């Protein structure tokens, strides 16, 4: 395992798992984002602070995300569509999972690429058909992985990364969402 270098500090993660088993309070994280309307359907969301391991924390730098809609939506396309951010989240979460599981299983990765497709019937959000949901109908993630491992081991990596993925869970299982006006 020591010869594998995927750049994931699995030892730290395994140690954290052991420590947090007995410290559920420290395991509670709060992730935050703040957004500002820019006009039209364009908004900017910033992410910097979060809470975890018992205290307020901060990313090294603030990240800024523009969201808008493409011109076919009669918008100015100053950023990607909000629902596309879900694909960004899912892709990055599963990829992180693949790298971590590979590191833990002693599998050297050479390249990991994923292509994501979410099919979306926009009659839902347009209110054109009450039987059509607003969100994705289906999401397909296709991984291309080059690694020192059999096809079966690679499939197991991808399966395990889904099993431990925050975003996969958030997309496949219901979550209570409260939206309020302060």
Partner 1 sequence: MVGAGHAGLAASHFLRERAIDHLVIERGEVANSWRRERWDSFRLLTPNWQTRLPGHAYEGPDPDGYMTAKEVTRFIEGFAALSRAPVRTGTEVTSVRAAGDGYRVTTSHGEIRCRAVVIAGGACNRPVVPPFSEAVPPSVRQLTAFDYREPGQLPDGGVLVVGASATGVQLAAELRRSGRPVVLSVGEHVRLPRTYRGRDVLWWMDASGVWDQRHDEVEDLARARRLPSPQLAGTPERATLDLNALTAMGVELVGRWAAVRDGWALFSGGLRNVFSLADLKMERLLDTFDAWARTHGVDPGPAERLPPTRVPERARLRLDLRGGEIRTIVWATGFRPDHDWLHVPVLDDKGRLRHDGGIVDHPGLYALGLPFLRRRRSTFINGIEADAREVIAHLAGHLAARAR
CB closer to partner 1, 95 vs 162: 162
Cα–Cα dist 147/144, whole Å: 10
Cα–Cα dist 14/96, whole Å: 15
Shortest reach from residue 151's CB to partner 1, in Å:
11
Shortest reach from residue 45's CB to partner 1, in Å:
25
CB closer to partner 1, 3 vs 175: 175
- Measured on CA atoms in the order 125, 126, 127, 132, is the torsion positive or negative? negative
What would the two tokens of residue 120 be?
């979306």
Shortest reach from residue 88's CB to partner 1, in Å:
19
CB closer to partner 1, 133 vs 144: 133
Angle (deg, nearest 10), helices 151-163 and 82-105: 120
Cα–Cα dist 51/59, whole Å: 11
CB closer to partner 1, 25 vs 71: 25
Chain residues in the site for partner 1 (CB under 8 A): 152, 155-156, 158-160, 162-163, 168-169, 171-174
Shortest reach from residue 59's CB to partner 1, in Å:
29
Q: Of 130, 178, 140, 179, which is closest to residue 162 (Cα–Cα)?
A: 140
Which contiguous run of DSSP H or E holds residue 126? helix 123-126
């Amino acid at each position: 395992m020591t010869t594998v270098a995927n750049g994931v500090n699995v030892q730290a993660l395994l140690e954290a798992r052991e420590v947090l088993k007995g410290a559920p309070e420290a395991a509670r994280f709060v992730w935050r984002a703040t957004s500002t309307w820019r006009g039209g359907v364009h908004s900017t969301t910033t992410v910097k602070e979060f809470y975890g391991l018992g205290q307020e924390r901060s990313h090294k730098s603030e990240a800024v995300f523009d969201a808008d809609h493409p011109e076919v939506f009669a918008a100015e396309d100053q950023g990607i569509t909000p629902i596309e951010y879900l694909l960004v989240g899912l892709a990055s979460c599963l990829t992180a999972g693949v790298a971590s599981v590979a590191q833990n299983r002693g599998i050297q990765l050479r390249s990991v690429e994923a292509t994501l497709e979410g099919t979306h019937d926009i009659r839902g959000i347009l209110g054109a058909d009450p039987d059509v949901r607003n969100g994705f109908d289906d999401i397909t993630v296709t991984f291309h992985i080059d690694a020192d491992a059999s096809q079966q081991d690679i499939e197991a990596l991808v399966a395990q990364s889904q099993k431990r993925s925050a975003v996969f869970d958030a997309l496949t299982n219901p979550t209570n969402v409260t939206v309020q006006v302060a």
